[in-house]
Every structure is written in structure tokens, then in C-alpha cells.
Structure 1
């Protein structure tokens, strides 16, 4: 037999106490946070507008790669032992740095519309 508990002047059985203690009878309404829906990206009719850079940017990038390769070629032309001559230590690295500066300019330059 269930153990009885005394609440005030009324005596309740264990089952009645458990039923009274549950909140399943009370409807619970919760608001679930939702993420904002993002709109679809707008598509442009011009296929060239989808590229991140303009024609000038890509031309400068290719030119910069060519200048970098030219600088490494100049360094390989040095006839001194281990490349310690003027071409290997001075002229070649300056040309390579110029190529990298041209690459940075090509990336950062605003494309022409």
C-alpha cells in the first residue's frame, strides 16, 4: 500500500502526490529561436562580372609571375661559386622583389568596370 503523506488537513496517497507534482498536464509553449534566412545571391547577366578581378588585374598578375621567373633566371646566370656574384646576390633578388611588388599591386588594384 502506498505511503500516505499529511498535507494540511487533507491526506493524499503517493500516486496523488506524484500526479499533483507533475507538470505534464500544463501545456508548455516555447519559442524556438530561428536563424534569419539569407536571401539568394543576385545573379548578374554579365558573365565577366562574376570574376573577382578585371582583365587588367589578371594581365598584371601574369606579368608579375614572368618578372619573378626572370629574377630567378638571372640568379642562375651567375658564374661565381655558389652564386655569390652580382647577379646572384644583388640584381636577381631585386628583380624578384619587383615581381612580388607587381603581384601585390595587381591583387590590390581596383578592377576597371
Structure 2
């Protein structure tokens, strides 16, 4: 009897809603894009210096995209999926 009652009272609701998962995927995509833009620029020969590693894309743009992606992830976690729109009428 106790186990039946426990199973009835246990809800199988997800913590996050559909909107949360959308924002999480967007944030993950932005983070991945930042890391892709950060990659490359090296040289196959260790005796040759390639100044391309100090490009604006790798120093400014890519880390900014990664931080924005982490911000989107935080927003997705804190977003309340059960919040309904309230009318101000």
C-alpha cells in the first residue's frame, strides 16, 4: 500500500521546459562557434612563427562568443518554464 501511494504521488515532470532546452541548444551552438573560431592559426614547422594566432578573430571575437554562450546557458537554466503571460488589463 505504501509503495503504491508513493508511486502515485511521484510526478514524472521535467525540471526544464521546451523553451529552456531551446535556449540551452542555442547557447551550446554559440559556445561551439566560439571554440571553432578560436582554433587554428598554428604552424606545422615549430621553427616558423605564424602571426595569425594573434588575429582579431582569435583574440576578441571567439572568447566573446564563448562568454555570451555561457550567459545564454545561465539564462536558460534560470528561465521559469511555468511562467504564464499576465495581462495588465
Instruction: Please confirm whether the aligned pair reaches a TM-score higher than 0.5, indicating the same fold.
Output: yes
The runs of at least 4 consecutive aligned structure 1 residues that moved more than 6 Å come to none
Q: Considering fraction of residues, name the structure with more helix.
A: 2
Bigger relative contact order (CA 8 A; separation at least 6) = 2
Q: Deviations over 1:17-53 (max 9, x none)?
A: xxxxxxxxxxxxxxxxxxxxxx847234xx5xx1000
Q: What is the root-mean-square deviation in Å for CA atoms of aligned residues?
A: 2.5
3-state SS in 2 of match to 1:110: coil
Tell me, which stretches of 5 or more residues in structure 1 are unaligned? Answer: 1-38
From 58, 62, 74, give the equivalent of 2:21: 58
Equivalenced residues, count: 71
**Cα pair distance change 1:91/1:78, threshold 3 Å:** farther
Q: What TM-score results when the alignment is normalised by the length of structure 2?
A: 0.66
> What is the Cα deviation at residue 73 of structure 1?
1.0
Unpaired runs of 5+ residues, structure 2, are 43-49, 84-89
Q: Deviations over 1:65-85 (max 9, x none)?
A: 000000111112558537221
